[in-house]
Structure 1
Amino acid sequence: MGHQFDLRVYYEDTDLAGIVYYANYLKFIERARSEWVRTLGVDQAALKARDGVVFAVRRVEADYLQPAVFDDLLQVRTVLLELTAARLVIEQAVYRGDVRLFEAKVVLVCLAGTGRPVRLPKGLRERLISG
């Protein structure tokens, strides 16, 4: 089970060689994570306002396997691997058709406004488990 997010490569996403600039893959997977959480019915702005809770990337392990180029239609696939009281570990991969171009293991932490780790709100935890 997981989430899929489609996107197109625009000229602004590429470098002088005409391939997707490496840092843009991190933007692509960030967009996909935001859309994944949205499809679970989580409003991150409301979560911050109501509970004082935000997500932050703690760690990213990334592998660049093959390049994407201008006008490619890509798909980011997101899968929850692990969920603890205050941390999520997810796998994200970028595909062009059946070809895996990029993969990342991302560790997210739940933080209070003070920057200290806090437990995921119960309702959010349940949505992540069932979603």
Structure 2
Amino acid sequence: MPRPAEGCLDGQVHRFAVRAYFEDTDLSGVVYHANYLRWFERARSDLLRVLGIDQRAVHEAGEGAYAVSDLTIRYAAPARLDDHVLIETHAEDIGAASCRLLQKAFRVEPDGAPVLLSEMRVRVGFVGRDGRPRRQPAPWRAAFASFLASAPETP
């Protein structure tokens, strides 16, 4: 039985592959700009799963969830129908209630060469049911701290 797409930790980076489908494109055949946000979100959700963070259990227990508080995105080149796109995520900072991540989307050429499509810096905060910031659960901070410790320095 096929399994859903899964990413992996590869040393200093989390990698998650997606495919550009017809539904992702606009009338010109180029991937619509907002779909990069969806791809980045999937990659972040997968990163949490790979780190052993059970978002669903914490959310269902009423303890809270992550919410995007800030993001900056830059587009460098277009993705097109049927492109193989690789999302890479690096941790930049971990705080008591938030994390800053750098995410990049690359088109993977047939020869394996990556072409930068987009990059985004995002800050996610852990919030309670009331929408106010809360400390992330200690095991989550530890998981992110471990990921951050192996992350490359950013310029």
The TM tier, using the shorter chain, reads over 0.9
Unpaired runs of 5+ in structure 1? none
Q: Among 137, 142, 146, which residue is 1:121 paired with? A: 137
Correspondence 1:59 to 2:75: no
Cα distance in 2 between the residues matched to 1:65 and 1:49: 39
CA RMSD for the aligned pairs? 0.9
- 2:120 equivalent to 1:109: no
Residue number among 12, 16, 19 corresponding to 2:27 in the alignment: 16
2:95 paired with 1:84: yes
Conserved? CA contact 2:62–2:129, under 8 Å: no
Q: Deviations over 1:85-128 (max 9, x none)?
A: 10100000000121110000001001001100000111110011
Calculate the TM-score normalised by the size of structure 2.
Answer: 0.82
What is the alpha-carbon distance in structure 1 between the residues aligned to residue 107 and residue 36 of structure 2?
Answer: 13
Question: Higher relative CO (CA 8 A, sep ≥ 6), structure 1 or 2?
Answer: 1
Identity of aligned residues (%): 38
Q: TM-score, normalised by structure 1?
A: 0.97
The one of 18, 42, 51 equivalent to 2:53 is 42
